[in-house]
Amino acid sequence: MFGIVVCEVTMENKKINVRVRLVIIQEGKILMSYVKDEDFYFYIGGKMEWGETVEEACSREMREECDARFTFRKILYVRDFIAREINEHSVELFILGELDKGEEVEGKIDEEFGPNKWQTWVELDNLKNIDVRPRELTDILLKDFQQGFIRSGVYVGGIE
């Protein structure tokens, strides 16, 4: 008799999440999520759900956060996010793609978080002047954008 053994590695209910972060650039602007009460920006996205492919997770997140369709292009970066003090460990995939909408997503409130968080287009030229998280990714992304995003799947480690 044959069987399948399924095993999940956990330590004291700790787990590793996989998140998708979407990189959408149109007309010299990048689409970001803004958190008003903490005054910072981050890449749109969220946790993958069980049974979802990376592409499906990107599409779902874009529907949820912008009511728009996302076209997957490629994985740009892989980042470790480990915050032991809040029991958070995620692997983040930064995905380059396109959106079927433009200015109409400006100011779109993220229903999951209420009026404190919304989507906004940020001028690429202004990206270094605002608090974008992860901070260290800004220089990498701008350099790769200027070179036409020729690299893919770059492991950036645990950048802040």
The answer to whether residue 32 sits within a structural domain is: yes
CATH number at residue 105: 3.90.79.10
The answer to whether residue 158 sits within a structural domain is: no
Helix (H) or strand (E) holding 137: helix 137-146
- Concatenating the DSSP letter of every residue in 8-40 gives ---BTTB--EEEEEEEEEETTEEEEEEETTTTE
The answer to whether residue 7 sits within a structural domain is: no
pLDDT tens readout for residues 3-33: 544 444 455 667 899 999 999 999 999 999 9
Structural domain count of the chain: 1
The reported pLDDT for the residue numbered 8 is 46
| Range of the structural domain that residue 138 is part of | 17-147
Ranges of residues in the chain with a pLDDT under 50 are 1-2, 4-9
The reported pLDDT for the residue numbered 45 is 95
The reported pLDDT for the residue numbered 110 is 79
Sequence-ordered strand ranges (E) for the chain? 17-26, 29-35, 40-42, 45-47, 70-83, 88-99, 117-123, 132-133, 154-157
The reported pLDDT for the residue numbered 11 is 56
The answer to whether residue 160 sits within a structural domain is: no
Residue with tokens 């995003």, as numbered in its chain: 149
- pTM equals 0.89
Residue with tokens 């399948």, as numbered in its chain: 4
The reported pLDDT for the residue numbered 114 is 79
